[in-house]
Amino acid sequence: ETGVTQSPTHLIKTRGQQVTLRCSSQSGHNTVSWYQQALGQGPQFIFQYYREEENGRGNFPPRFSGLQFPNYSSELNVNALELDDSALYLCASSLQGMNQPQHFGDGTRLSIL
């Protein structure tokens, strides 16, 4: 069973740039959630994708957007990067439905200069 994989591992960008982070879900999982984890804090929910559509969104501005593909993999796109976007971005996959455990990837560390 292949786990959740995220790429790249680390990324450095400058303010105003755009970035795309990628996530491959665990085999058989149809739901992908993205979280932002600032240094020293708990993860915060960005949004979730199910059947290639956004299925819930946290308190993040529209410059945070995403996609889910037919193979259930997903992308997180962030436009007009700001210094506060520096964080660990975690992807989690699961089956849709309550009480379905979420399996996390190792995350992408994004640094904004």
| CB closer to other proteins out of 6 and 19 | 6
**By CB under 8 A, residue 45 contacts other proteins:** yes
Best CA proximity match to 90, nearest among 77, 109, 73, 71: 109
List Cα–Cα distances, 43 to 2, 46, 74, in angstroms.
Answer: 23, 9, 18
- How many residues sit close enough to other proteins to count as binding (CB under 8 A)? 31
CB of 59 to other proteins, least distance (A): 9
Residue in 24, 33, 68, 74 binding other proteins, rule: CB under 8 A: 33
Amino acid at the residue 106: D
Question: 85: helix, coil or strand?
Answer: helix
**By CB under 8 A, residue 66 contacts other proteins:** no
Q: What residue has token string 């308190």?
A: 59
Which chain residues interact with other proteins by CB under 8 A? 31, 33, 35, 40-45, 48, 50, 55-56, 58, 88, 90, 92, 94, 96-107, 109
